[in-house]
Amino acid sequence: MSIDVVLQVLVGGILVGGLYALVAFGLSLIYGVVRILNFAHGTILAVTGVAASLIFARWQLSPVLIFILLVPSVFLLGAVFYRGLLHPLERRSPLEATIGTVLVTVGALLILSDVTAVLAGPTQRNIMLRSPVIEVGNIVISVTQLAILAAIVVMTLVIHAILKATWFGLAVRAVTQEPIAAELCGARSLQVKTLTFGVGSATVAIAAVLYVLTFPVDPYMGFGLTVKAFTIIVVGGIGNLPGALIVGVLLGVAEGLVGLFWGPEWSPAISVILLLLILVAFPAGIRWRRG
Amino acid sequence: MKRFKHMPQFLTWLTGITAAIATVGFAVSTPANAKIGSCTEPIVFGTTISESGPFSTLTSNWRKMTEIFAEEINKEGGIKLASCGGKSVPLKFAIYDDQSVPATAVQLYERMASVDQVDFFVGPDWSSLGGPVPPIAERHGIPIVMGNVATPSLYQRGYKWVWGTPAPAVPRWSERYFDMLTHVQPKPQTIFFLTHDNPVMKAITAFWSRKAAAQGLKVVGEETFSADLKDFTALIAKVRGAKPDIVYLSSFDNPSVPLVQQLRQLKVHAMDVHHTMLTGALAKQVGNDLEGMTGELTWFPSVKGPYADLFDRVMQRTGITMFDSIWTLARLDSYIVMIQAIEKAGSVDREKVQKALYKGTFKSPAGDIVFDEHGFPDTGAFTIQMQNGKVQVIWPPDVATAKPMWPSPTWQ
Amino acid sequence: MNRAVFAVVATIVVAGLAVLPLLGAPYWTTFVFSILIAYVLAQSWDWVAGEMGYINLGHYVFYGIGAYAFAIALSSALMPSVPLAMVIAVLVVAIVAAVLALPLFRLRGDYFAFGTLALLPLAEVLTNNNTWLTGGADGIVLPVAHVLQAAFWLALILAVASFAVTLVINRAPFGFALRSIRNDEEVAEVIGLPLLPTKIKALVLSSLFAGMAGAIQAWQMSYIDAVTVFGLNVALVPIAMALLGGSGLRWGPFIGVVLLAGIQQWLLVNITMLQATVYGAIILLIGRYMPGGILRAGILRGLPWLAPLTREHGAFVADTAIDQVVSSSAVMSAEMPLDRIAPRGTETPLLVCRDVAKAFGGNRALAGVSFNVAQGEIVGLVGQNGSGKTTLFNCISKVHSLSGGEIRFSGRDLSGLRRDQMAGLGVGRTYQIPRPFGDLTVAENVALSLMFGPQREIPARALTEARSFLAYAELDHRRDVRADALSLQEKKLLEFARALATRPKLLLVDEIASGLTPVEVRRFVDRIRAVRDDYGITVIWVEHIASALNAAADRIIVLEQGQLIADGPPAVVFRDQRVLASYLGAAEVVE
């Protein structure tokens, strides 16, 4: 098998992996700060993706405009969802809070998928952009793919910068690492948590628009992505975005290579096997040293 | 207690639901069917549609279509019964959502058999449901004509009451396409099979890769992919390495969307790329990428077989097209076959209808449906090609709407 | 009386259900059949979740494996026999569960939940790709057999068995073991519970029932494929049902299953769109307003006619226990049911610590500590906060493993032993910050030590005997209170009673008297001495109150920054300059 075949697979893997990572960012933020496992996380991508493709089909808006339209709305919905339905559970006993969040997020998942299927139809959709391709030797990359890759890199940098340089980022990092101390130091936890839930959801919305530019979405597809995103944050370290990006890309590439050398029908198993292996080796997730 | 502030409304609501279940759900509903031999009450077909859950992506608008189908049949009088002196009896459907879950479907068919007391069963789809549902029909002795259940082994279980109208049937799926391949110039030498991991699609590949070899095409590759796969780069890299003349995609339409797009993006060259489900759903998602591809279509309105006008009207009123919803023909076929069987039997007597169905031949817009002794049909399909954004039938030549463009210019 | 009523009602209900398939109502039969299967799944899931506190989101995998094992066995060429296939299914599920338990139980909390959830897609991929065994995506087509009646009865038997097992578990030491794990598995192990075997047993038991449910379902459906038994859209439903009713409650899974299945069926039949939304909304609202499950909602608990359904398990157990306590022992004395052994000094020391070292990362908490403790001694262990006292206790009770050196107890090298074996050898301990099993009663807390201890006492007897230990610790009047409702001082007394109930030879007491009034401290000193004088128990006592140790201890050992700096009689040690500088200076600060 020639080297450019492998390189081609790498390009595809990096693209998919980058999208996985974007989905994982949101989950990582939310899990790190709010300690809630949002089962509906991937479903937000499915729903936003469907919405984006509908908007595109109806008005032919540019993806950037769709972005500007959808991302703030999802931010708001995320924040409201947290404030209205999840935050009140924190007053309960730890067991009740856990069970309550599971039920609420699973319920939300069902509702989101079903309402979307009824409103938009259950069929699969995507956004078709005709874009020229660039050929480097035997390797082919489309301009859309390049743009998506660029967007993933930019988004990672932006989120990273927000976490490093703003009050919100500081609060998020503080709450992720030392919840009680952070509260004592004045990081108002409710406000931070609400913002985080909004930002985490908005990140998925961003991922959704990029996703639907390359791959089709349907209202029921979200949960598989949630599992992948969780794999990524467990392996990459909770709250560690660069780690999530690296692991996401590695996961995407691994899926591609397994498809190449073993058989594409085994690709979906990779993330699960990876998750189980890592968890068994590091039962509490991996804690990377922060440099 | 602040946290109980909202409790009362919620509880009222919950109690309401519980009460509703108690009164409505658990009370035995009134049967809606015709008494056998009655010539006034409607004949009831019981069916489930996967309106929610994983398979719902394939059944858009079917409930509406089914209701309109009954309307159209009844407009022309209904179902003719010899036992009523040639008088027609209206058709009615009992429709439920099986949620794509076999256990739910089983409950619902039991319900239709014993609570709703429908006369006949039509239409469940997919192997997942085609496995557990027929035994219910067997036990109750209710004839069932299933829709899109295409796995042949599911029919070979010694049933007496079970038929199906999957279209096309696996052994006839690409018959016309492979016939065409022996006639085109230049003659293709090699073929590469890409198969969606699904029982029907795998059966198609298994059957047609043997046929290909038998007619002198060299099979240079066979790969399987799962429905979740989004990044097909690895698969396509293998195709490019094998340089086949024909790329044969044996796949449902939706899972292959990224595959088709990436085949284009990665500039695969071939004489033809063939898709076993070249549908409107696919076209909507990949657009121009479909140009020049060949595929199968079970039926299209310009083939004016029996009932073609009826089907066309039903689909137009529902707002769906054959090309958009390729599974629709098998669905409607299951209805129309059951109606013909009843008319042939001349009564709603299930035994007589069963006899009429056994190894029977029935009319359908796409040609005759002939059941074998297992209740499996022999439906074929037409070979089509996307030419300038339009679906053209290119084989067999006697019904073709256009000549095949060969080799397909878009894959050069 | 109540139990008799229950037995009658239960018999009538079960008998009524048993004749259902004969009534010619196949719809109701299939509907109830699906409820029975869902109940078995929900209830067996709850043994691991509600009782043991491990949220196994992959429970459905065992259902699927059972279904597949049954279908493969039944369709194989070797003598297709349904009972044989059932047996094979049960065996396969048991083996898979036991093997999976080892890696899975390395995980805790959310990680366990997600690790188990990941099993579902994995199982689906494996099933689809190993066509030679499973038929791949074609599924397995079984011969058509009209077995609804038989399958229904099997499911009924299995459901009744699930309920019976729940009842039995609640009374058996096994159930107490599960509940202690749910509360604090480290403490459970320290008082003598072999942790991993218990968890494996729980998972195997729970998956056996799920596997049998799967086998029965496969038999009835006569066809299975991977989506049907491993699909995420169906896998979480039984769990949602159990949570909805009230996980960990005797009637929780049952009520949840009946309610949710009923709602779902009603929606299916009566609503033509948005059923999933309504269904989702019900789950969401219950999660939001009654996260402990419907049966734990305050409003339902207030309804007297619902009271029997809403009680926690503990309430049932307390019933039985009290019955028997009253009948078996009338008077509680402040005598513990321990052997009275005269303290004797022997040649070979009971505990030998040689060069004991423990490092956490780069931090050396213990840096080569050596000392002996003779049988029957009371040794005071002092040192500043962070000097390594608690770490030393943790090393002796095997909560930590050593970084260097060795510890011998009764002449036996402790390396390679588990925590529960330490309890068996006779090392009991208290925790500086009390760690009671919060949602068990005080009496149950102590009874657990007796159940897990060398005598493996049955719960009724253990609960009776527990009262003696509680009386000894002057806590008997609080015996029926939930342990997390105790005051800090009471919790410390509970720690003491619980440690004594492990029947230790060596008792490690960690700051039990801090915060007591001088009078109380004196009483405690007497108690510690009595423990030694009357029952021959050797004691190592960590305490900051010098006067107490002075009065109680035969010997004082002083630690400073992980090193032993003094070892001798109180009179000598408390005059040592270095000790005064290091320790007594600090003691002023400590309240």
The domain spanning residue A115 has which CATH number? 1.10.3470
Cβ(B76)–Cβ(B84) below 8 Å: no
Q: How confident is the model at residue A70 (pLDDT cuts 50, 70, 90)?
A: very high
Q: Kindly determine whether residue C139 and residue B199, on different chains, have CB atoms separated by under 8 Å.
A: yes
* Beta carbons of A259 and B53 less than 8 Å apart: no
CATH number at C339-426+504-591: 3.40.50.300
Q: Which residues of C touch A268 (CB under 8 A)?
A: 121, 125
With CB atoms and an 8 Å threshold, state whether C114 touches A102: no
Domain made up of B43-168+305-370: CATH architecture: 3-Layer(aba) Sandwich (3.40)
Report the residue count for chain C: 591
Domain boundaries, chain B: 43-168+305-370, 171-297+382-411
Whether residue A140 is predicted with pLDDT greater than 60 in this model: the reply is yes
Q: Are B232 and A264 inside 8 Å of each other by CB?
A: yes
Q: Under an 8 A CB cutoff, do C277 and A111 touch?
A: yes
Interface of C with B in 269-328 (CB under 8 A): 269-270, 272-273, 275-276, 282, 285, 289, 297-299
* Top mean-pLDDT range of A77-91, B44-58, C347-361: A77-91
Q: How many domains does chain A have?
A: 1
pLDDT of residue C591: 33
Q: Which tens digits make up the pLDDT trace of B172-224? A: 889 999 999 999 989 999 999 999 988 788 888 999 999 999 999 999 999 98
What would the two tokens of residue B253 be? 């339409």
Which pLDDT does position C327 carry in this prediction? 42
Q: At what angle do helices C459-472 and C488-500 cross, to 10 degrees?
A: 120
For residues C240 and C233, the answer to whether their CB atoms sit within 8 Å is no
Q: Is C563 helix (H, G, I), strand (E, B) or coil?
A: strand
Answer yes or no: is pLDDT of A2 > 80: no
Q: Tokens representing B128?
A: 């997942």
- The answer to whether C557 and C380 have CB atoms below 8 angstroms apart is yes
What is the pLDDT at residue A121? 80
Are the beta carbons of A252 and C76 closer than 8 angstroms?
Answer: no
CB contact under 8 A, A263 and B224: yes
B110 contacts on C by Cβ (under 8 Å)? 26-27, 29-31
One-letter amino acid of C180: S
Does a structural domain hold residue A288?
no
Distance CA(C63)–CA(C216), nearest Å, equals 10
pLDDT greater at residue C318 or residue B379: B379
Contact (CB<8Å) C273/B51? yes
B–C: how many Cβ contacts below 8 A? 135
Best probe of the C interface among A102, A225, A280, by most C CBs < 10 A, is A102
Distances (CA, A) of B326 to A3, B381, C436, C497: 40, 11, 64, 74
pLDDT, residue C326, reads 45
pLDDT score at B19: 47
Rounded Cα gap, residues B389 and B407, in angstroms: 17
CB A220 within 8 A of CB A112: no
From B307-316, C268-277, C375-384, C396-405, the region with the lowest mean pLDDT: C268-277
When CB atoms are compared, the residue of A110, A224, A266 closest to C276 is A110
Yes or no, beta carbons of B285 and A216 under 8 Å apart = yes
Output the pLDDT for position C337. 78
> What are the CA-CA distances from residue A183 to residues A97, A175, B133, B286 (Å)?
20, 8, 58, 51
Length of chain B: 412
Report how many helices (DSSP H) and strands (DSSP E) chain B contains, helices first: 13, 16
CA-based torsion, B350, B352, B355, B361: positive or negative: negative
Among candidates A225, C32, C238, A220, which has minimal Cα distance to B100? Answer: A220
pLDDT in tens, B234-249: 888 889 889 999 999 9
Q: Which alpha helices (DSSP H) does B101-146 contain, by range?
A: 102-114, 127-130, 134-140
Q: How far lies A106's CA from each of A36, B57, B100, C233, in Å?
A: 12, 21, 19, 11
Asked whether the beta carbons of B328 and B320 are under 8 A apart, the reply is yes
Where exactly does CATH 3.40.50.300 map onto chain C?
339-426+504-591
In the predicted model, what is the mean pLDDT of residues C332-339?
A: 68
Q: Stretch C11-26: mean pLDDT, rounded?
A: 87
Residue A221 lies in a domain: yes
pLDDT of residue B376: 92
Q: Taking phi first (over 0 means left), then psi (-120 to 50 degrees means alpha), and beta for anything else, what does residue B162 get? A: beta
What pLDDT was estimated at residue A289?
A: 54
What average pLDDT does this structure show over C552-569? 90
- pLDDT score at C442: 92
CB B249 within 8 A of CB B268: no
Q: Which residue of C has its CA nearest to A278?
A: C115
Structure confidence at residue B10 as a pLDDT band (50, 70, 90):
very low
Are A117 and B52 inside 8 Å of each other by CB?
Answer: yes
Classify domain B171-297+382-411 by CATH number: 3.40.50.2300
Chains that touch B (3 or more CB pairs under 8 A): A, C
pLDDT for residue C331? 41
As a whole number of angstroms, the distance between CA A278 and CA A186 comes to: 36
Q: Is A78 among the domain residues?
A: yes
Which of chain A's residues have a Cβ under 8 Å away from the Cβ of C125?
A: 265-266, 268-269, 272
Structural domain of A230: 3-281
Question: Of B60, B224, B228, which has the smallest distance from its Cβ to A123's Cβ?
Answer: B60
Chain C hits for B62, CB-CB cut-off 8 Å, are: none
* Pairwise CA distance, residues A32 & A163, whole Å: 13
Confidence of residue C314 (pLDDT cuts 50, 70, 90): low
pLDDT tens for A141-168 read 888 888 899 999 998 888 888 888 888 8
Is the peptide bond between C569 and the residue preceding it cis, with omega within 30 degrees of 0?
no
Yes or no, beta carbons of B51 and C221 under 8 Å apart? no
Scanning every residue of chain C, which has its alpha carbon at the shortest distance from the alpha carbon of A280?
A: C103
Q: Give the distance from residue A114's alpha carbon to the nearest chain C alpha carbon, in angstroms.
A: 6
Please say if the pLDDT value at position B34 is more than 60. Answer: no
CA distances in angstroms from C243 to B5, C46, C259, C260, C286, listed in the order given: 22, 9, 12, 11, 9
Question: Is residue B111 within 8 Å of residue B118, measured between CB atoms?
Answer: no
Say what the ipTM of the complex is.
0.88
**B11, B21, B136 ranked by CB distance to C299: nearest:** B11
C244 touches chain A (CB under 8 A): yes
pTM surpassing 0.95? no
- Residue contact C277–A114, C-beta within 8 A: yes
Residue B261: pLDDT band (50, 70, 90) is confident
Q: Flag if A108 and C274 touch (Cβ within 8 Å).
A: no
- Which residues on chain B are in Cβ contact (under 8 Å) with A121? 60
